[in-house]
Structure 1
């Protein structure tokens, strides 16, 4: 009997130790479908009979057990670290990048919804936020994640796109001067334009950027996303915000989920993990699921979503969308039937 307990104890210790050993992989699996009304509050916003929902994917570093489980479950995915994190990017830097992508997503969703509802919106630009830095590039020596660039060669830029367009016109060996703030301290530094290590035909200084702006609206809006990261909830944010801004309830009493990034012009973009999000939405009893159509390319998110829904025998209606207006037109067509 004593030997049995000793062996059992040793086995438990071994299992515990193995669970703490991380492999050079990430494992993702279906998350949940979460109603957006408790997360998004438009001042004096209109109520809805149905609901708009975001869908999530759960992700974590793999250990031997989660890795083996993922090998047996087609909706658990395994990714090498290099496929998730950028070159030289730490876990903390990756998390921060995802949180800032979420901030961008919220701002674009607000822009789309308020513009469609013809409500006032204003922007306060605070510079260009450095999200990550590529190793081996000039920026590595002088910039840090969190720096806010607001001048290049004495020129003020309001968006990261303007910065990228300006730098892309430079040639290898040219020098630019960046003016930026770090912890409220203004700093200036010269940087050489250099080829990227993994793509010598492309040149730059080696930073990933996002526009740092504040959106002011009337009526006011609060969005509490806590620790949710990434840009994939943009489309669903915009639909929920719009539905609170207008008197007509576009949910038609349905539970509506979906995914897709969104740009200020309403364009819906591709995201990762859509098959897992289909599983999450189906488990939550969703009626309609919006999926990025990507202009109908064969391997679009929409086609992936259709295949996943078929595998799990879901009765959800999978709807392809390229823009916010596509989603809105579909919902308005339901009201006409």
Structure 2
């Protein structure tokens, strides 16, 4: 496996490439063209410039997260083929630039949902958190204001102001889209792009819905092993795979994370590994990566990845805000650096003990 860190670009991230380069064992970054809009074609020149900036810091691009999917594709509107054509052109340009991993999601309206971006923990750190009771009290039209006011001045992925300003229109777009329709539209999209993925050896790694249940009545489909296997069966191609995010699948305590990993051998192209601390089945917070700080056995998750021969990129996910850092919630330097080092330590111990 390769340890990586997500980077939002010099224009949007408080963390620098030089700082990432100094984290032991981190050799690559997961990034994207953050100023691009869903449906736009990424040019070869833009992709090359992104790669060159990262290479100058002694790192490389390990994968793209994300090439966002236009809502027309998700709802299956008449103009979806135009946007799929644009997506295919972007994939071609990524392939020409020797980039072979794309993480994406198929979530309606909200990319991810949290009720708090800075819940204070006993140790004084602050973390992202979710409480269903709090979500139930929020009008979705006011959700952006709640998120934006706690973002430390950063633009959060999936919560861009220009997108959230159209929240009423977005909900109207999805009013006739249920889970079956969303699956149908995902299948259509995947069938269209797979020939290009085959040509350029691009692994598509769908990210799970977060949390793994319906929010504000919107359908969620990438939530458990059964639904993942359905997705893989409906477009049976090794390039049609997943991002295994322990923190997203883990929001549903019925999901046995190590068992899921073993069942999905060969189709996990990318892994986000993080821990959660549950106060109830629908009230959780994003703890430090250490097993004892949360609910999940991180050793067993890493051991399962080792057992299936996983060789793709891994990144520590949402970290706590610690040591006075002011950064994009979940994406500061310090706690993610601790997480990367911890996960690398687990991997080394597993590797040596299994020889």
Q: Same fold (TM over 0.5)?
A: no
Greater C-alpha radius of gyration: 1
> Which structure has more helix as a fraction of its residues?
2
Q: With a CA cutoff of 8 Å and minimum separation of 6, indicate the structure with the bigger relative contact order.
A: 1
> Which structure has more strand as a fraction of its residues?
1
TM-score by length of 1: 0.28
TM-score by length of 2: 0.27
